[in-house]
């Protein structure tokens, strides 16, 4: 017997296509977000007692930066990504990526404390293609955390 709607809502994974992106407090439309990762770098070294205690000792984990990629469709007058990248100096902005339920309410939110654009890529142009033009921006991100609502 199939599960009822309430059980499915609690136990089934959320679809990845229903998401919202907020840059600072402004909402922006993107076709894809990737690279959200919070990881720690570790420092390892060898010491004089390696023979008895083991060769590598891991000390003091350090939070690392990650590269977050945002893809956005190219529209007439849409200068959002290029203005952010070409600002002098480029400003660090906060991001909030929300995975939403079927009603559009956020269920899981990934917060990025600071993101600075480092690369803007133009779309590929092909006369034989009918695909939408999508530009890509790579951000150097730090302070990534997850909030389950």
pTM value is 0.79
Rounded Cα distance between 17 and 134, Å, is 16
Between these two residues, 11 and 113, which has the higher pLDDT value?
A: 113
Residues 18-50 pLDDT 10s: 899 998 878 888 899 999 988 877 776 667 776
DSSP labels, 40-68: EEEEEE--TTHHHH-S-EEEEEEE--EEE
pLDDT of residue 101: 86
Query: For residue 96, how far is the Cα from the chain centroid?
Result: 9
């Amino acid at each position: 017997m199939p599960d009822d709607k309430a059980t499915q809502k609690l136990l089934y994974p959320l679809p990845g296509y229903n998401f919202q992106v907020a840059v600072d407090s402004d909402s922006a439309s993107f076709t894809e977000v990737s690279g959200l990762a919070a990881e720690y770098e570790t420092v390892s070294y060898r010491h004089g007692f390696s023979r008895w205690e083991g060769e590598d000792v891991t000390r003091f984990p350090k939070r690392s930066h990650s590269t977050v990629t945002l893809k956005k469709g190219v529209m007439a007058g849409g200068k959002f990504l290029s203005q952010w990248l070409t600002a002098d100096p480029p400003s660090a902005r906060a991001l909030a990526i929300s995975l939403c339920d079927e009603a559009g309410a956020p269920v899981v939110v990934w917060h990025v404390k600071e993101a600075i654009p480092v690369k803007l890529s133009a779309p590929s142009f092909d006369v034989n293609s009918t695909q939408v033009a999508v530009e890509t921006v790579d951000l150097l991100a730090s302070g990534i955390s997850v909030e389950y609502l």
